[in-house]
Amino acid sequence: MISGTRTNGQTLPSLLTAAFSRRPERIALRDETGSLTYGELDRRSNALANALLEFGLEPEGRVATILPNRLEAPVVDIATYKAGAARLPINPELSTTAIEYILSDAEPAVVVCDSARLDDVADLVDGLPMRPECVAVESADPPAGWRSAARLEDGAAADSPSVSVEPDAIAGHFYTGGTTGDPKGVCYTQSCLTTNLLAHHADLGFSSTDTGLVATPISHSAGTFLLSALLAGGTVVLRRGFDETDFCTAVETHGVTWTFLVPTMLYRLLDGPLAVHDVSSLENVIYGAAPIRPDRLREALDRLGPVLTQFYGQTEVPNLITTLDRRDHARVLEDGDDRLLRSAGQPCLLSEVKVVDPDTGEERGPDEPGELLVRAPYTFDGYFGLPEATDETLVDGWVRTGDVGRVDDEGYLYLLDRRNDVVVTGGMNVYTSEVERALGEHRAVGDVAVIGVPDEEWGEAVHAVVVPTEGQEIDVDDLLGFAGERLAGYKRPKSVDVFDALPTTPYGKIDREALRDRYWSDEDRRIN
């Protein structure tokens, strides 16, 4: 166990049980297949939690979920919390290699999967040193060694599980990539996650009269938005992916009042069916997870009105470092000053932000750029099994974000660059080291560097610069196909340049700044 440092007495089992018991007949969740009331969600999650406890699941035991946005996914997540265990969400769109690494590193006690990835995951778990209990969703006749989720629910008591959980117990274990090496497990305590959910409620204003629409993977930021909205007593509509027309139709059909969009999704709506659908029910369009182009944001503001809310966060500080709220967007419309549209907003209710010299730690003054440090009661507890990395990132209670920015005299944050080698494309983090390792396995690639380049649709696109092995020629189409076999779709390079040599620093390292200068010289900031 990674020792906890924040003990405000809050735990998820008590919070969720109290919230769901208030409105048993109200619809909590909808998807394309049906709906669940709060009463049904409470009973099903109780039953599954009790079944997991019968397996011998212990407090802090990891429950890995490899599920798309479907009704069963929140049921499993909530059951995990009610059992006092730790949620380990895995994006089902990840490559088999990436899923294998996470399972091997985290050693979950339970793995839950649906038919889309069942065959792949079944092979993976059989090769783990400690085989977890395996649960199949939507399969009445699961493979040997697997159990049916529906049968487990039917065979267990639907009463609230009897568990005793300490506030500093680990309740979340999420994975984020590193700029070098393998992804890191980011751990959160019970206290951290309960505070974070309540902070979402306070900063984003979810209410019992809301209907939300979630079309991004709930294994990421959307999962926290969903749970916070359920605590408020509203309804959340789930979609397994984003389609512009389906999105607009769902808004019309269900009277959607809030949604979460990454910038790429917002761009597609602006360029597509938004003009021919009535989306006037939208009161809060939350956007973030990637920088947004100020010109497209202004277009969205002109067309949708001041219903937009931007958030800035990272895995180590879930979602809520700063927000640019609806009043800020209204201010832009009122005074015509687009300056704020380049801002990430002001610190959230429970967060503190400071800008420091990355080498000396000396705090910078207004409008002086430096590294951003963040402190909040919901910052992560530590990296799983990586005490040195934890100590490098979490210093005296402050998280070193690795982002470069400035804060003006009104307290608005402006992001300028990243110290870490990460590309944010369509709201998804792509860590360049992973892409470089995959491309470097190609026989014709002698050297490779991966960077983000400006892209109108994706914000940033993954771009590879490769140097051929002596005596070899690089066929770009062949290389992209090679990458496609090894990387998830969003991680594959969108473009490739072939160089004779990569630029290097005086110390012999690849000079990424020199590379980025070639593609960002016409931009006024190094993020998009």
Tens of pLDDT, residues 157-212: 999 998 989 999 999 999 985 444 578 999 999 999 999 999 999 999 999 999 99
Q: To which residue do tokens 């430096």 refer? A: 370
Region of poorest pLDDT, from 213-222, 257-266, 419-428:
419-428
d(CA 182, CA 98): 9
**Domain assignment present for 5:** yes
* Per-residue pLDDT at 521: 79
Residue 421 banded pLDDT, cuts 50, 70, 90: confident
Clarify whether residues 410 and 426 are in a common domain. no
Q: By C-alpha distance, which of 419, 408, 428, 286 is closest to 342? A: 408
Q: What is the CATH number of the domain that holds 369?
A: 2.30.38.10
418 or 124, greater pLDDT: 124
- Inter-residue contact 65 to 90 (CB < 8 Å): yes
Q: How many structural domains is the chain composed of?
A: 3
- pLDDT > 80? residue 9: no
Q: To which residue do tokens 């890995």 refer? A: 64
Q: What is the CATH number of the domain that holds 504?
A: 3.30.300.30
Residue 3 banded pLDDT, cuts 50, 70, 90: very low
Clarify whether residues 465 and 394 are in a common domain. no
Give the SS3 label for residue 324.
strand
* Per-residue pLDDT at 528: 67
Residues forming beta bridges with residue 363, ordered by sequence position? 356
Q: State the residue range of the domain holding 185.
A: 1-21+37-190
Domain finish residue from 418, 446, 469: 418
**Domain assignment present for 309:** no
- Six-digit token pair at 335? 């005074």
Clarify whether residues 377 and 431 are in a common domain. no
Residue 509 banded pLDDT, cuts 50, 70, 90: low
CA atoms within 13 A on the CB side of 324: 29
Dihedral pair phi/psi, residue 360, rounded to 5°: -100, -20
What would the pLDDT profile of 101-137 be if each residue is shown by its tens digit?
999 999 999 999 999 899 999 999 998 988 999 999 9
The model's pTM: 0.84
Residues 6+ apart with CB under 8 A from 149: 48, 72, 76, 112, 135, 136, 137, 138
Give the SS3 label for residue 510.
strand
